[in-house]
Amino acid sequence: MNYNSIVFKLGATIFVILTAVILPLIFTIDRLIARSYISDAHRQIHQLAEQYSKTLARQGAIDRSSLQTAANLTGTEICIIDRKGKLVFTSNDRLFRRGTHVSRELAKSVILKKEAQIEYKNPINHQTYFVSGNSLHLFNQVEGRLLVFSSSDKIRKSVDHLELLVLASMIGALLLASIFTYVASKKLASPLLQMEKVTREVAKGKFYRKVDISSNDELGSLALAINDLGQELERYRKRQKEFFANVSHDLRTPISHIKGYAQVLHDRLYKNEQEQDLYLSIILDESNQLNALITDLFELSKIEGGQLDLQFNWINIHELVENCFLKVALKAKQRELRLYKELDGKIPFVYTDGVRLEQILMNLLENAIRYNKIEGYVKVKGWVEKKKVHLSIEDSGVGIPDEDLPFIFERFYKIDKSRSNRMGSTGLGLSIVKHLVYLLEGEIKVKSKVNEGTAFHVALPFQLKREKVTTKIGNE
């Protein structure tokens, strides 16, 4: 027997509780029944004593033979004593001998009290009796008292019998309760054991294993939670696999280009200097691409690993946007794009991490430039609403199809390979942006129309609830 098992613990608890409740209950019931039995017996002999003394009073004399018959018929004993306690009549010589005195103790209780009801142990036959005494009036004079004796042994025996019955039923109830408890706790423990087994298998990588419990209670919801956990782990592992596949693919592509063109240059397989320059610039571009990918990966792993320490300061949004514009000005010029900003003068300083906020803006601006049309525009708007600073980065670019919108914040999600093959595209930018916005306690939304343009909308609180945080996202 495993004393630590739930079956034992639950069973023992229920058993102890039941015993603690049933035992005193049964004791009380037993007392109550015994008492009512005894008081019934008292009442009966009291009525008899009353009846006999009335009859005798009516007759005016002691009719010994009818008294004897009455005693025999009712299974009681009748005695008559005079005022001094001397025995005048007894239906049973073994109870008292005629002419003797009843014991002083008995005489006292049945003579002094008008209606005495006592329990009396006869020293002659060693039997215990319930006794009831009544005054006896003969010729309107108090002649003495009539006593009715009823053996209490019979009643005691009935009470004992009853007690035995009660005890047997108690043992029966406890036995039944024990069986019920055993069955109930086994029933309770079996889904737990099943859940333990499935959880261990899921931990070993068998994510398809499911707990088969559909009850509508806590156990049911625990089973559901375990199944959800298994599903979530399966999804996580799938994502992880995809992630490594993406990383290795995206690393291998530029490396193989670099290797190939370096080999061509090394073997001097180019026709002229122009071709040599072209190959060199391809190597340079691919190195940049590799660099971008490694930087983004490193950034993402830092954020997801919760190793990003935020540095908080009061940030001037106007200056921040201006700074970003300066950084992307050249790229914008190369693509003949105009950069606008429409910032509300009321935007206050914001207490946030300036470096991270700039990273967010730079990512969104670079996208707005990269996925724009020639001679288009990029506009940054800023305003204050509901105690938040709102920034929107709009472009006149190619737009994002509706079916792709829900996924663009996922790692490595690129809409169409041909356009994302453009240099610098890693598919990680928006994923980083989403994490950073979350870290700065903000929100990000996107609206887009194909061939018209895209608008990313970021809302940030004036001041963060926590000042310095080391956060964990993704693998929390």
Ligand X SMILES: Nc1ncnc2c1ncn2[C@@H]1O[C@H](COP(=O)(O)OP(=O)(O)O)[C@@H](O)[C@H]1O
Residues that bind ligand X (CB under 6 A): 367-368, 371, 395, 397-400, 408, 413-415, 420, 425-431, 454
For residues 293 and 173, give the distance between their C-alpha atoms in angstroms, rounded to a whole number. 75
Looking at the Cβ atoms of 349 and 413, the one nearer to ligand X is 413
**Kind and range of the H or E run holding 29:** helix 6-59
In this structure, is the dihedral angle defined by the CA atoms of residues 407, 413, 415 and 420, taken in order, positive or negative?
A: positive
Looking at the Cβ atoms of 130 and 371, the one nearer to Mg ion is 371
Figure out which of the listed residues 367, 392, 431, 454 binds Mg ion, where binding follows CB under 5 A: 367
Distance of CA 59 to the CA centre of its chain: 84
Does residue 427 interact with Mg ion by CB under 5 A? no
Does residue 191 interact with Mg ion by CB under 5 A? no
Looking at the Cβ atoms of 146 and 303, the one nearer to ligand X is 303
Minimum CB separation from ligand X for residue 442, in Å? 17
Minimum CB separation from ligand X for residue 469, in Å? 24
Minimum CB separation from Mg ion for residue 454, in Å? 12
For residues 123 and 142, give the distance between their C-alpha atoms in angstroms, rounded to a whole number. 28
CB of 82 within 8 A of CB of 143?
A: yes
Residue nearest to Mg ion (CB): 429
Minimum CB separation from Mg ion for residue 277, in Å? 28
Looking at the Cβ atoms of 55 and 359, the one nearer to Mg ion is 359
Looking at the Cβ atoms of 107 and 368, the one nearer to ligand X is 368
Spatial CA neighbour of 356 closest among 437, 301, 431? 437
User: From Mg ion, ligand X, none, which one binds at residue 117 (CB under 5 to 8 Å depending on kind)?
Assistant: none
CB of 207 within 8 A of CB of 60?
A: no
User: From ligand X, Mg ion, none, which one binds at residue 230 (CB under 5 to 8 Å depending on kind)?
Assistant: none
Looking at the Cβ atoms of 67 and 324, the one nearer to ligand X is 324
Minimum CB separation from Mg ion for residue 266, in Å? 33
Minimum CB separation from ligand X for residue 249, in Å? 14
∠ Cα 288 294 297 (to 5°): 140
Does residue 429 interact with Mg ion by CB under 5 A? yes
**Kind and range of the H or E run holding 453:** strand 453-461
Looking at the Cβ atoms of 145 and 411, the one nearer to ligand X is 411
Backbone angles phi, psi at 411, to 5 degrees: -60, 135
And the tokens for 202? 């899921």
If phi > 0 it is left, if psi is from -120 to 50 it is alpha, else beta; for residue 136 that is: beta
And the tokens for 151? 């053996």
Q: Which stretch binds Mg ion (CB under 5 A): 109-117, 260-268, 297-305, 426-434?
A: 426-434
CB of 392 within 8 A of CB of 355?
A: no
Minimum CB separation from ligand X for residue 331, in Å? 13
| Look-up of token digits 């006592």 | 118
Residues 149 to 168: which contact Mg ion by CB under 5 A? none
Looking at the Cβ atoms of 198 and 430, the one nearer to Mg ion is 430
Looking at the Cβ atoms of 108 and 379, the one nearer to ligand X is 379
Per DSSP, the three-state class of 402 is: coil
For residues 57 and 61, give the distance between their C-alpha atoms in angstroms, rounded to a whole number. 7
User: From Mg ion, ligand X, none, which one binds at residue 56 (CB under 5 to 8 Å depending on kind)?
Assistant: none
Residue nearest to ligand X (CB): 429
377-385 vs 338-343, strand pairing mode: parallel
Minimum CB separation from Mg ion for residue 366, in Å? 6
Binding mask 20-59 for Mg ion (x = CB under 5 A): ----------------------------------------
Minimum CB separation from ligand X for residue 340, in Å? 15
In this structure, is the dihedral angle defined by the CA atoms of residues 372, 362, 381 and 341, taken in order, positive or negative?
A: negative
Who's near 214: CB < 8 A, 6+ residues apart? 220, 223
Q: Which stretch binds Mg ion (CB under 5 A): 231-239, 251-259, 362-370, 456-464?
A: 362-370
In this structure, is the dihedral angle defined by the CA atoms of residues 362, 365, 369 and 375, taken in order, positive or negative?
A: negative
Binding-site ranges for Mg ion (CB under 5 A): 367, 429
